Structure 1
Amino acid sequence: MYSPDTTGPWPVLLYVHGGGFVIGDLETHDKVCRTLCNHAGMLVVAVDYRLAPEHPFPAATDDTEAALRWVLANAATWGGDAGRIAVAGDSAGAQLALVAARRVRSANVRALGLIYPVAQHPDESSASYRENGEGKFLTTGVVRWFMASYLGGRAEAVYHPDYALLGSAGLESLPATWVATMGHDPLRDEGHALAEELASAEVAMTHRHYPEAIHACIHFTAVSPIGLQVMTELAQWLREQV
């Protein structure tokens, strides 16, 4: 947990780290959570969900849902305001954040922040995979390995609505949503498509596209200002929502 240097009660952000459902943890995203806490003025709760391949789908989804329900029930204990909750994540964590918010369907969850979300299986053809699948940090081969590890050989899971977000039901139940996509990211097109589906479902949608950025840019703030820009713009949007 990360608390602001102000007097509470604070709005609460449940943050779900990325890493293809296989890697990543509380340490890899410590700086991300600190940055969002500082700029958004929110109590940030980071989720240490179970990872594949030891814990395949839907373990991570179940853990994220459980964490969100726990925050809703216990936020006041830690100086948070249970009536002002947001959920956010990056990459696989963004996918988990959306599914958890959709499963819980609480009016107290007021905002959803999705940074370069996973929305479909990498075998689904897209121009962004063809353009950016090699040499730009995240590769097609790595994504396929992540997803094979996460789905555990369950072919039917590829189309499960708790995995494949595009074309799935229940998007209209989501709170105001902010989606960030990166120009040099294999996941760019599925992020664009998800933003369009959310808008079509009449979700209050904000889509920010960063054409010069790569996947995982929020971790490379020492060499590029774009990652920090992504996080500060998300933080400002969260302030306005909660």
Structure 2
Amino acid sequence: MERRAHLVRRALHAALALPRPVKQLVAGPPVRIDGQQLDLDVQLLRRVLTPRRPAPVPAPDRMRAGQAFVDRLVAGPEEPGVRREDRTVPGAAGELPARLYVPDEMLRDGDGLLVYVHGGGFVAGDLDSHDGLCGALAAEAGVRVLSIGYRLAPEHPFPAAVDDCLAAFAHVAARPEEFGAAPGRVAIGGDSAGASLALTVARETSGGPGATPPVFCLAFFPVTRLDGRTRSRELFGDGYFLTTAAIETMARWYVPDEMREDPRLRIAEGDLSGMPATYVATAGFDPLRDEGEDLVARLRAAGVPAVLRRHPDLTHGFATTLGIGTRPRQAVAEAAGALRTALALLPGTATRPS
């Protein structure tokens, strides 16, 4: 598989390097939906990766293998100036893999830490699939990033992932110095399913006795409901990488029927007033777009400082496609800037001497 991925990656990047008119010819006519136009490089990737005929959702192991193959194709180069340290952190039922990213250029206003939860539909993804993204966030924001693994469905259904993330975050928040961070400067973030888990941790630890909540939450294209009939799901549920069929299948693998009403699965409902300041990035061509934007509206209504940044020309999963054109990297850099600013503005921040 490694050799095949290498060959396909070379062919894909050769196509991405073509002059724009030739690239447009290969990609086809511009894609315009809902007042938005798909980025040309992303459109070319869509042309390469989208099957001509709808295919059934594969079994979990095959899905993971397929996603790992795609991850190799779209990943950018390893981030320079970022040191990596493999660690472990306690989960709810044992040690979890973790990876600490330490940039050469640290944030001048203090040592912050972002605990990052990878996406993958609660079924796939790992530290390696999000290595490029975490390295980019560390470099762009000038903060340490601790990427954590967690138990995956269907082998470990809900609430295993939630319990693991809560346990891991509690450990880090109680001992930030072990990871080179200052007390009271630990944020949380994630993408897709990982954003859902990060938001759940933020909500479950906010306002509760004895819990230490994150000081900031960074969420790329979060999933906030197991089912839904939003306009974005209707518009983009087929042909834009993440499909309605995949969403529904992974939800069945993740949550047993008898637990579907658990309030921990309803991130946008209930009392959100204790949530930390939150930055949500959505993609215009994403079936999850509308639920992420609805979450921001609900956070604001609850008095929570919440920023929404829609990237109208991108698709679901853009944060890990840093080898595809320039737009995904720009979007990640914007999010990293929000994280950097949020940590720099925390009360009690003292500027270090030059």
Say which SS state the counterpart of residue 128 (structure 1) adopts: helix
Match runs of 1:27-176 below 5 Å: 27-105=128-206, 109-122=214-227, 124-154=228-258, 157-166=259-268, 168-176=269-277
Residues 127-179 of structure 1 show CA distances to partners (whole Å, capped at 9, x for unaligned) of 1111001011000001111100000333xx3332211223x223111111001
Say which SS state the counterpart of residue 117 (structure 1) adopts: coil
* Aligned residues between the structures: 238
Say which SS state the counterpart of residue 101 (structure 2) adopts: coil
Over 3 Å counting, the alpha-carbon distance change for 1:93 and 1:7 in structure 2 is: closer
Q: Which of 220, 224, 236 is the aligned partner of 2:325?
A: 224
Per-residue deviation, 1:126: 1.1
Q: Which of 172, 178, 182 is the aligned partner of 2:279?
A: 178
Structure-2-length-normalised TM-score? 0.65
Over 3 Å counting, the alpha-carbon distance change for 1:108 and 1:42 in structure 2 is: farther
Say which SS state the counterpart of residue 119 (structure 1) adopts: coil
Compare 32-41 and 7-16 and name the one that shifted more: 7-16
State whether residues 71 and 82 of structure 1, in contact with CA within 8 Å, keep that contact through their aligned partners in structure 2.
Answer: no
Inter-partner Cα distance in structure 1 for 2:118 and 2:219: 11
State whether residues 12 and 82 of structure 1, in contact with CA within 8 Å, keep that contact through their aligned partners in structure 2.
Answer: no
Per-residue deviation, 1:107: 6.2
Determine if the alignment matches structure 1 residue 236 to structure 2 residue 340. no
Inter-partner Cα distance in structure 2 for 1:61 and 1:80: 24
Determine if the alignment matches structure 1 residue 204 to structure 2 residue 308. no
Per-residue deviation, 1:230: 2.0
Say which SS state the counterpart of residue 126 (structure 2) adopts: coil
Whose radius of gyration is greater, 1 or 2? 2
Per-residue deviation, 1:75: 1.4
Inter-partner Cα distance in structure 2 for 1:28 and 1:4: 19
Inter-partner Cα distance in structure 2 for 1:188 and 1:216: 12
Inter-partner Cα distance in structure 2 for 1:125 and 1:7: 43
Residues 63-106 of structure 1 show CA distances to partners (whole Å, capped at 9, x for unaligned) of 11111111112210221112111100000110100111122225
Say which SS state the counterpart of residue 185 (structure 2) adopts: strand
Residues 169-195 of structure 1 show CA distances to partners (whole Å, capped at 9, x for unaligned) of 231111110011111000011111111
Compare 69-78 and 24-33 and name the one that shifted more: 69-78
State whether residues 82 and 108 of structure 1, in contact with CA within 8 Å, keep that contact through their aligned partners in structure 2.
Answer: no
State whether residues 52 and 149 of structure 1, in contact with CA within 8 Å, keep that contact through their aligned partners in structure 2.
Answer: yes
Give the residue type in structure 2 aligned to 1:121.
Answer: L
Backbone CA RMSD of aligned residues: 1.5
Inter-partner Cα distance in structure 1 for 2:221 and 2:157: 22
Q: Where do 4+ consecutive residues of structure 1 move more than 4 Å?
A: none
Inter-partner Cα distance in structure 1 for 2:156 and 2:131: 23
**Structure 1 unaligned residues grouped into runs of 5+:** none
